[in-house]
Structure 1
Amino acid sequence: MEEFLARLNQPLLKRIISLLPGDEPIYLVGGAIRDALLNRPNYDLDFVTPGNAMKLARQIGNQLGAAYFPLDTHRNVARLMLKPDDPLVVPGGCLARIDFSSFQGMDLVSDLQGRDFTMNALAVEVHNLQTLVDPLNGAADLVSKRLRTCSPLSMLNDPVRILRAVRFSVDLELNIHAETLKHIRQAVGKLPEVSAERLRDELFRILLQAHPSTSLRILDKLNALEHILPEIGVLKNIQQSPPHVMDVWEHTMDSLVRLENLVDVLAAEYDPDKVANLTMGLLALRLGRYREYLMNHFKIALNPDRPHRGLIILAGLYHDAGKLKTQTVDEKGKIRFINHEQIGSKAVEKRGKALKLSNLEIERLVKIVNHHVRPSLLSHTEELPSRKAIYRFFRDTGIAGVDICLLSLADILATYGPTLPQERWSRHLEVVRMMLSAWWEDRTGSIYPRPIINGDELMEALSLSPSPTVGYLLDGIREAQVAGDVHSREEAISLARTLYQEY
């Protein structure tokens, strides 16, 4: 119990307890208790009270200087958020949320019995942390590595808990109880009734796991994936010709594993254990210089609620989603998937809209999937890409080109598997290095050259009216600048005249 209390004794919790009134019962419940028992870090705090939780949350928020958000006025639920640089927040700004809610039931026990899993149906009274309230033996389930629902109706009442069950089982290495599996199978058909927003949020929590592919495989076994990402489960048993060594489904799952590893190697602090093999060693040697750039790249989220890592994993999941509808066999028996990237980009756009992602997130997903094969095509020949080719790539993709480069590395590793020739890997790494160098070390010279003539000047010089043709000519001038073929206004006009005649 002393160790348990020590794990709960974090500065933020102590500060909140000091502000809470002492004349009414208030309980810390759920994940903070569970993770303290497991000796795991937890930055989410959930409090319940028989009183007015929203009023209490506002009072505490005012004293903490925290932002206040009413989450559910009917159920009396509110959330507080502290600024990442607040001294009460753990280093790195990891605090997720502080929630206050009124009892969802007659008393504390009925509130706990209405929760999802027994390991989350735990509570301590904030002014008496030594007494653990555990009406469903959740602590014993944790010791036994068992995931068990609080009620036979838990899944039917809230089918999104299916995703939570899978995530917890993978994250905490728990065995899902047989009765809970039965309840999941009974409720899986009700997943379409879950709101898109809640489904999206639970899905991204899975995508942000250390091993999302494991959870996705379990969801598929439970027949849940077809209700969440229907374009993915259908990729099973779609065969591919060499150099592919797996069908489309297995290739997709392996691509996710490779992508997870790549991000861990390149977008995190250097860890020698992660580059202990030749393949990862070459990766770190060639691209390690961009570690800080990549770490900053992943810090820039297109939506504050969804880290960028989850988005690129989702893109990786859909990169070959177009292969179901594009599979053909040529006269030599080779299996082809012509334009699968275009079909896949439409699929991920449709799914992004269904999940209520933001327009920026959907745009990024579409670009990644639509252009994911381009780095591999550029590295498939003996010649390295020209400056024009790199310019065109980033002209079409922008910052999404960085994500595409990372995905292409995972894609080629999953394509060849153990048959990957070292020279093929080395050549692809060099192409990606050239691209990242252009983006981060020579963007002005390689991608966005200084304009030497603008649209109005070009229209005047060539007696043109405003039209898309002007944009085409300006792009041709920029491409020639990057290639070193145009250096002056006169040369730009001369080139534009030639391009216009050929247009």
Structure 2
Amino acid sequence: MNLRLPQRKALEIVARSQPREIYLVGGFVRDTLLGRESADIDLGVPGEPPKAMAIARRVANQHRWESLGYRVSPFSLDSVFGVARVVFTPLNEESQEKGFYLDVAVLGGDNIQTDLAQRDFTVNALALPLDKFLAADGTLPLEEVLETPGGKADLKGQIIRPIGEKNLQADPLRMLRGIRLRAQLSSKTSPWEFADGTLDLFKKHCTLINRSAAERVREELTKTWLAGDVAHSLQLLEECDLLMRLIPELKDDTHNSFRKTVNLIERLEGLITPTEFSEKNQGIAHPEKFIKGWSEMLADLEANGRERLGILYWATLLSNTANFCQEALTPTNEAEVAHKIMTRLRFSRETTVRVAAIVQHQAWIEELGQDFDLTSGKDVDKLAAYRFLRDTQPIQFELFVLSLVRYAVANSTNNLRGWEQHLALVDSLLRKYKGNAEERLIGKPRLIEGKQLTGLLNLNPGPLVGQLLRKINEAQAIGQIHTSEEALELANQLLEELKLLETAPSGD
């Protein structure tokens, strides 16, 4: 492996920190042996728990990291068991260099073999003395790698095997980690499999998963959605009864509702992954051929650690909860169920609200499409489109993609004309959201501000001013007014209409 200079410098500082042997462990060793890039480095050190944080501070303080273009921050992950992290963040956000972590953990037990025996899966129970790694210039000779029995063989055979049943019982979250690990390590041409009996063990101990902290479950599941091959992971979670234990709202005795949920996830993955789309949607036009700005929209969903993509996966997973219930659910009810699930998993309030909003408004685009016709050239009503774009801020992109997912699941893949029409519908809405100045309906400079209305019309600040601004913005969006004078005239007109309503005789 070609270590970057900051990585090598950090490891050299650690190697000088104590005479006793330090080990590269876990995922870093596994990924390096597999020829996979692994920016984050895991170290195991002998000693007492405070030792981990002491080494982390030494790494941060014994070099001028700014000279290498990094800001370095050490902090404790677990003071009881002795786990610390050093975060390396590029000073220049536009730099080609990537940030990375250096995790330092005190060995579990008296020696490295005892530590490895306490880990989750054999392919993660691998270690290499740090001094030998540095002496070999960052390469990993297989014969020098320490293992639990079978670790190297499982790595070669691409098998995920639990080290022991007791290890799963000690930390039930390891079952979720196994599902995620299979997805992360697999590729279309080189899939990984579980060792015989592994899924049976997961099912045997599925009730233990609720002992795991909700925050850890949340992080593990989100990483699983972002690891790829999501539909298969979802099926494995359901097969082991882990999904039902974590999200009982998705329990399905007939499997029909769950099958639809899997279909939704499959279509989503196909849309955002070009190779998946080609394989699963033969004969259907690619979205980028019909939707201007499709690639930019996906890039936005992929940005910032793929946070929005994770939100979209969660919303898609929870968009079908009505089919799991015995009683009919309105869109608002479905949103409430989604909100409850996200809250239970300790998501942030912002993420919870976004997922619930996506679930609530998932059918809005289909409703807008009732007045859209590609053949005749009839476009979406401008005012209706404006209200959709205004009221769904900031989840428009997620709703665009989910509407395509829903259409693909609900309609035959042979209906090419219908698919192209729905693509054109999304294209029309996306242009109204992010197109050029003539196409956009929202984001235009205001013609008049609230303070101007209160001053010119002798109004008190309050809801009435907000209502006037709302009507003015709508009129501007659909091209009814273009100047501040016209905006003021419309405000006067609206006030006169309100006065007439107030003075009109009642119907009694």
Q: How far off is 1:499 after superposition?
A: 5.8
Q: Distance in 1 between the 2:437 and 2:499 partners? A: 27
Number of the residue aligned with 1:99: 103
Q: In the alignment, residue 315 of structure 1 is paired with which amino acid? A: A
- CA gap of 1:139–1:501, structure 2 versus 1, over 3 A, is farther
SS at match of 2:84: strand
Whether the 8 Å contact between 2:301 and 2:307 is mirrored in structure 1 is no
- CA deviation map 1:388-434 (0-9, x unaligned): 11110012111211210111111111111434x22222221122112
Q: In the alignment, residue 67 of structure 1 is paired with which amino acid? A: S
1:260 aligns with 2:278: no
Q: Distance in 2 between the 1:502 and 1:258 partners? A: 51
Number of the residue aligned with 1:67: 73
Q: How far off is 1:290 after superposition?
A: 4.0
Using the TM superposition, name which of 98-107 and 224-233 deviates more.
Answer: 224-233
Q: How far off is 1:387 after superposition?
A: 1.3
TM-score, normalised to structure 1's length?
0.84
Q: Distance in 1 between the 2:462 and 2:7 partners? A: 62
Q: Distance in 1 between the 2:122 and 2:348 partners? A: 35
1:200 aligns with 2:218: yes
- CA deviation map 1:150-206 (0-9, x unaligned): 222011110111111112233333332234334322321011111011111101111
Q: How far off is 1:372 after superposition?
A: 0.9
Q: How far off is 1:44 after superposition?
A: 2.1
- CA gap of 1:274–1:285, structure 2 versus 1, over 3 A, is farther
Q: How far off is 1:103 after superposition?
A: 1.0
Q: How far off is 1:462 after superposition?
A: 6.6
Q: Which of 275, 284, 300 is residue 279 of structure 1 equivalent to?
A: 284
Q: In the alignment, residue 447 of structure 2 is paired with which amino acid? A: I
- CA deviation map 1:280-315 (0-9, x unaligned): 43x1112253423541343146xxxx7221111111
Q: Distance in 2 between the 1:113 and 1:142 partners? A: 16
Whether the 8 Å contact between 1:321 and 1:343 is mirrored in structure 2 is no
TM-score, normalised to structure 2's length?
0.83
Q: Distance in 1 between the 2:427 and 2:253 partners? A: 31
- CA gap of 1:148–1:393, structure 2 versus 1, over 3 A, is same
Number of the residue aligned with 1:364: 354
Structure 1, unmatched stretches of 5+, are 1-6, 238-246, 329-336
Q: How far off is 1:453 after superposition?
A: 3.7
SS at match of 1:68: strand
1:132 aligns with 2:145: yes
1:34 aligns with 2:30: yes
Structure 2, unmatched stretches of 5+, are 66-70, 134-140, 186-190, 503-508
Number of the residue aligned with 2:420: 426
Whether the 8 Å contact between 1:477 and 1:495 is mirrored in structure 2 is no
Q: Which of 403, 406, 411 is residue 408 of structure 1 equivalent to?
A: 403
Number of the residue aligned with 2:68: none
Q: How far off is 1:450 after superposition?
A: 3.3
Number of the residue aligned with 1:159: 172
Q: Distance in 2 between the 1:470 and 1:497 partners? A: 14
1:143 aligns with 2:151: no
- CA deviation map 1:49-86 (0-9, x unaligned): 11322211111123345211210111111001111467
Number of the residue aligned with 1:3: none
Q: Distance in 1 between the 2:2 and 2:225 partners? A: 28
1:378 aligns with 2:368: yes
Q: Distance in 2 between the 1:290 and 1:181 partners? A: 39
1:220 aligns with 2:238: yes
Q: Distance in 2 between the 1:236 and 1:11 partners? A: 56
- CA deviation map 1:4-63 (0-9, x unaligned): xxx365545433332233422110001111112222222221001113222111111233
Number of the residue aligned with 2:295: 291
Whether the 8 Å contact between 2:224 and 2:230 is mirrored in structure 1 is yes
Whether the 8 Å contact between 2:60 and 2:86 is mirrored in structure 1 is yes
SS at match of 1:434: helix
Whether the 8 Å contact between 2:297 and 2:397 is mirrored in structure 1 is no
Q: How far off is 1:115 after superposition?
A: 0.5
Q: In the alignment, residue 248 of structure 1 is paired with which amino acid? A: S
Q: Distance in 1 between the 2:491 and 2:446 partners? A: 10
Q: In the alignment, residue 15 of structure 2 is paired with which amino acid? A: P
How many residue pairs match? The answer is: 466
Q: In the alignment, residue 415 of structure 1 is paired with which amino acid? A: A
SS at match of 2:43: strand
SS at match of 2:42: strand
- CA gap of 1:211–1:425, structure 2 versus 1, over 3 A, is same
**Where do residues 46-61 of structure 1 align in structure 2 (5 Å cutoff)?**
46-51=42-47, 52-61=51-60
Using the TM superposition, name which of 218-227 and 473-482 deviates more.
Answer: 473-482
Q: Distance in 2 between the 1:456 and 1:391 partners? A: 24
Q: Distance in 1 between the 2:145 and 2:325 partners? A: 56
Q: Distance in 2 between the 1:17 and 1:275 partners? A: 45
Number of the residue aligned with 1:243: none
- CA deviation map 1:109-149 (0-9, x unaligned): 11111110111111000111341111322011122332221
- CA gap of 1:484–1:29, structure 2 versus 1, over 3 A, is same
Q: In the alignment, residue 115 of structure 1 is paired with which amino acid? A: R
Q: Which of 436, 442, 446 is residue 441 of structure 2 equivalent to?
A: 446
Q: In the alignment, residue 14 of structure 1 is paired with which amino acid? A: R
SS at match of 2:241: coil
SS at match of 1:79: strand
Number of the residue aligned with 1:321: 321
SS at match of 1:407: helix
SS at match of 2:76: strand
- CA gap of 1:348–1:92, structure 2 versus 1, over 3 A, is farther
Q: Distance in 1 between the 2:171 and 2:346 partners? A: 20
- CA deviation map 1:341-372 (0-9, x unaligned): 22221111111111111121112112211111
1:396 aligns with 2:391: yes
SS at match of 1:178: coil
Number of the residue aligned with 1:250: 259
SS at match of 1:98: strand
Whether the 8 Å contact between 2:292 and 2:431 is mirrored in structure 1 is no
Q: Distance in 2 between the 1:153 and 1:192 partners? A: 17
- CA gap of 1:257–1:181, structure 2 versus 1, over 3 A, is closer
SS at match of 2:89: coil
Q: Distance in 2 between the 1:32 and 1:227 partners? A: 31
